[in-house]
Amino acid sequence: MSGRGTWLPVLSVGAALAFMAACVAGQAGASGAASAPLPAARAAGPALRQVMTQARSFGGTPAVGALVTVTAAGGLGKHFCSASVVDSPAGNLVITAAHCLAGRQAGQFVFVPGYDNGRAPYGAWPVRRVITDQDWAWSDPDDDVAFVDLTRAVQDVTGAERLGTGQPPGQLVTVIGYPDNQDSAIFCQNYARSFSATQLVFRCGGYTGAARCSLTSTRPPAWAR
């Protein structure tokens, strides 16, 4: 990864969702407010009002987590994508990218909010079913959207992010995710710019692999304001 960073797609207007997978195909939008501060990075708060070009590690935040495989013994295996709790009546919905869940079924993985170095500070939440955009066929990145329906209401424990639509470019966004090559969350702040008629991008290095399926918010956490 160069020091200049990379352009990461962060919004699919076609999918019309704000907090979702900012994946290789480019899916997360920007709206609403973060549900909780990011405690490990609190000391760096004032500096985060400035544009960042390289992601930083931190201790995680409740409403953002990792999808983690389940071992034969029932323990936590390897994390493979980032996901975020979204506000819903039942409080049990998590959003990620459709390509993350290809070939995976309920019982094979769990959602671990705030995942940090193999730890599950808010528990490991079993999956009831996977709901994928019916138009997703590995062709149009605007359809690369999926929800994970959990067996219990995770929102009561972690809080949740709000989905939004039609967000314009030029807003400062905070992006949180889990790279494949490390076991802690990363975050970055930069301005979203137009990428195409249906997507925005933001520039920041460090978003490799599963970190590209990340939470995006236009409001920075409380400690960064």
Tell me the residue type at 171: Q
Looking at the DSSP bridge assignments, the partners of residue 201 are 9, 193
Report the predicted TM-score, pTM, of the whole model to 2 decimal places: 0.76
> Given this model, what pLDDT does residue 121 score?
96
pLDDT in tens, 31-85: 222 333 333 333 334 344 568 888 889 888 899 999 999 999 989 999 999 999 9
Q: What was the pLDDT predicted at 64? A: 92
**What are the residues whose beta carbons fall under 8 Å from the beta carbon of 43, sequence distance 6 or more?**
none
The Cα–Cα gap between 93 and 23 comes to 19
Of the candidates 182, 101, 144, 131, which has an alpha carbon nearest to the alpha carbon of residue 10? 144
Res 1: pLDDT: 25
Task: Name all domains of the chain by residue range, CATH numbers in brackets.
Answer: 7-61+164-224 (no CATH), 64-158 (2.40.10.10)
Give 161-212 pLDDT, tens digit per residue: 888 767 788 888 888 889 888 899 988 888 888 888 877 777 888 877 655 5
Residue type, 51: V
Is the CB of residue 167 less than 8 Å from the CB of residue 216?
Answer: no
Handedness of CA 15, 17, 23, 24 (dihedral sign): positive
If you average pLDDT over every residue of the chain, what do you get?
Answer: 74
Q: Give residue 225's pLDDT.
A: 39
